[in-house]
């Protein structure tokens, strides 16, 4: 609960801002918080395991219970065995959680975002930022707005200096800009037809449209400086349940394996290499994060023993420090190593686990002295 609250504070800040500034219904805000808590637990449960073992062992050590067990002939590996069994049980549980629950949370988050986008795109548009307006298989639309002005409680948001780019999929699978729309102002409107149908659209004023042919050798410009144009938005029914081909976090494990095979079979251009690296990183995350639980226990047990006089207080501080180090290394390897191609996806994700395990094994051997480093692999059978 402690770690989840800390992480959710940063996310809730953005949710609250959207709820106030964009008037998102409370029911949708509640669902966003619920599903975001789901994927947050994948990180905070391993954190909690480290804090738990350091504080538990540190408390026992401060009360001389570890000394009493040692005096009774119980070895450190034997004392550690229940923690290790607990870690193995947690790892299996987190393995199931990461492969079953997390994809559902990401998928529902994506569906909620699509729902908000189709109901009112101004809810997710931010000033001076590019925002995905439509994310289709063959075409994507990205919008950029310099300034947004709320025109009263019941009126639409007025958009200033709007830029919309349509990117179409070429024969080689690469998306290129096929249409650019520039407008001085824009608002969201709902167009009602005589037959009862309605269409959501962005009505743009004082601008022009530049379109290019498929090979981008010629272009055409259409002005609407004295009038307006309506950019039709994707209906909510078309958005429901739709996931993009690069929403890897929402894919089931089987679908993710299939997507990796599909990307690997395509041309190895820079875009495909980037997609393949992101897909492999997502796959390795689903295995590496569950194993972080048992890796943290290997680190936490000797750290708890090493601080006999400080007890739980020092255990809390140590757990925070090592958790920060682990996730700093994890995020650094993912963003700098994996995404930029300096490291393979495997090492980009597993580097934090490898370094933490080796550190814990070294401290374990140095602090306990009951067995050699090679005995760690046989600790379940240690008498």
Distance of CA 88 to CAs 233, 291, 375, Å? Answer: 49, 9, 17
Q: What residues have CB less than 8 Å from 346, skipping those under 6 apart?
A: 280, 284
Q: Given this model, what pLDDT does residue 240 score?
A: 47
Boundary of a domain, candidates 181, 213, 235: 235
Question: Looking at residue 239, what is its pLDDT?
Answer: 44
- Predicted confidence at residue 97, as pLDDT, reads 92
Q: Which domain holds residue 306?
A: 44-112+269-381
Find out whether 303 and 321 touch, Cβ atoms under 8 Å. Answer: no
The answer to whether residue 129 sits within a structural domain is: no
- Does 149 reside within a domain? yes
pLDDT of residue 96: 93
* The two three-digit tokens of residue 377, written as one number: 């692999």
Q: Which residues contact 51 (CB under 8 A, 6 or more apart)?
A: 2, 3, 300, 315, 316, 319, 320, 323
At which of 179, 213, 235 does a domain end?
235
Same domain, 290 and 375: yes
* Domain co-membership, 171 together with 68: no
Q: How far apart are CA 374 and CA 113, in angstroms?
A: 50
- State whether 297 and 353 are in the same domain: yes
Using the 3D structure, point to which of 214, 235, 256 is the last residue of a domain.
235
What pLDDT does 197 receive?
Answer: 67
> What is the pLDDT at residue 238?
42
- Count of domains in the chain? 2
Reference 358, options 376, 382, 378, 343; nearest CA is: 376
Looking at the domain assignment, is residue 244 inside a domain? no
Q: What is the pLDDT of residue 241?
A: 46
Per-residue pLDDT at 383: 47
In a domain, 55, yes or no: yes
pLDDT computed for residue 237 by the predictor: 46
pLDDT at residue 196 in the model: 65
d(CA 20, CA 113): 17
Q: Which residue has the tokens 């400080």?
A: 310
Same domain flag for 175 and 80: no
> Domain for residue 6, yes or no?
no
**Both 280 and 373 in a single domain?**
yes
Torsion of CA 235, 165, 11, 341, to 10 degrees: 120
In tens digits, what is the pLDDT along the chain, a chain of 383 residues? 888 888 888 777 767 766 665 566 777 778 888 888 888 888 888 888 888 888 888 888 888 888 899 889 888 888 888 988 998 999 999 999 999 898 888 888 877 776 666 556 566 677 888 877 776 667 788 888 888 877 665 556 788 898 888 888 777 667 788 888 999 988 877 777 776 666 777 888 989 898 887 666 778 888 888 888 888 776 544 444 455 566 777 888 888 888 888 878 776 666 677 778 888 888 888 888 899 888 888 888 888 877 655 545 565 677 778 888 887 877 776 676 555 667 788 888 888 888 888 888 888 777 766 555 455 555 555 44
User: Do residue 314 and residue 356 come from a single domain?
Assistant: yes
Considering the domain architecture, whether residues 221 and 280 belong to the same structural domain is answered as no
pLDDT given for residue 19 in this prediction: 65
Cut 0.75: pTM above it:
no
Whether residue 126 lies inside any domain: the answer is: no
Query: Are 290 and 221 members of one domain?
Result: no
User: Which runs of consecutive H residues, i.e. helices, occur in the chain?
Assistant: 2-21, 26-62, 65-71, 76-96, 102-119, 236-239, 253-264, 270-306, 311-332, 345-368
In a domain, 200, yes or no: yes
148 and 104 share a domain?
no
pLDDT of residue 92: 93
Residue 298 lies in a domain: yes
């Amino acid at each position: 609960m402690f770690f989840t609250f800390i992480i959710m504070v940063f996310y809730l800040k953005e949710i609250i801002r959207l709820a106030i500034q964009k008037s998102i219904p409370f029911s949708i805000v509640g669902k966003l918080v619920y599903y975001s808590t789901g994927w947050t637990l994948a990180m905070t449960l391993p954190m909690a395991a480290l804090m738990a073992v350091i504080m538990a062992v540190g408390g026992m050590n401060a009360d001389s219970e570890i000394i009493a067990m040692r005096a009774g002939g119980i070895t450190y590996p034997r004392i550690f065995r229940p923690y290790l069994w607990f870690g193995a049980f947690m790892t299996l549980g987190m393995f199931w959680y990461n492969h079953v629950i997390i994809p559902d949370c990401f998928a529902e988050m994506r569906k909620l975002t699509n729902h908000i986008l189709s109901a009112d795109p101004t809810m997710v548009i931010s000033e001076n930022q590019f925002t995905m307006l439509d994310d289709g298989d063959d075409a994507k639309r990205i919008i950029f707005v310099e300034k947004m002005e709320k025109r009263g409680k019941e009126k639409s948001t007025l958009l200033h200096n709007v830029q919309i780019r349509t990117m179409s999929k070429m024969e080689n699978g690469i998306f290129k800009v096929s249409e650019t729309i520039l407008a001085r102002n824009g608002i969201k409107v709902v167009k009602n037809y005589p037959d009862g149908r309605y269409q959501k659209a962005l009505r743009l004023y004082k601008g022009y449209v530049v379109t290019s042919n498929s090979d981008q050798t010629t272009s055409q410009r259409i002005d609407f400086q004295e009038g307006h144009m309506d950019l039709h938005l994707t209906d909510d029914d078309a958005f429901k349940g739709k996931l993009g081909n690069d929403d890897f976090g929402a894919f089931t494990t089987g679908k993710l394996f299939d997507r990796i095979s599909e990307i690997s079979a395509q041309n190895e251009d820079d875009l495909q290499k980037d997609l393949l690296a992101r897909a492999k990183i997502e796959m390795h995350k689903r295995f590496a994060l569950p194993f972080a639980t048992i890796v943290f226990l290997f680190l936490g047990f000797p750290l708890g023993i090493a601080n006999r006089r400080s007890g739980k207080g020092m255990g809390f501080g140590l757990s925070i420090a090592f958790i920060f180090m682990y996730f700093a290394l994890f995020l650094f390897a993912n963003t700098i190593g994996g995404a930029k191609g300096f490291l393979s996806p495997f090492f980009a994700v597993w580097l934090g686990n490898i370094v933490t395990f080796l550190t814990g094994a070294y401290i374990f051997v140095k602090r306990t002295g009951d067995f050699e480093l090679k005995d760690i692999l046989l600790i379940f059978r240690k008498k």
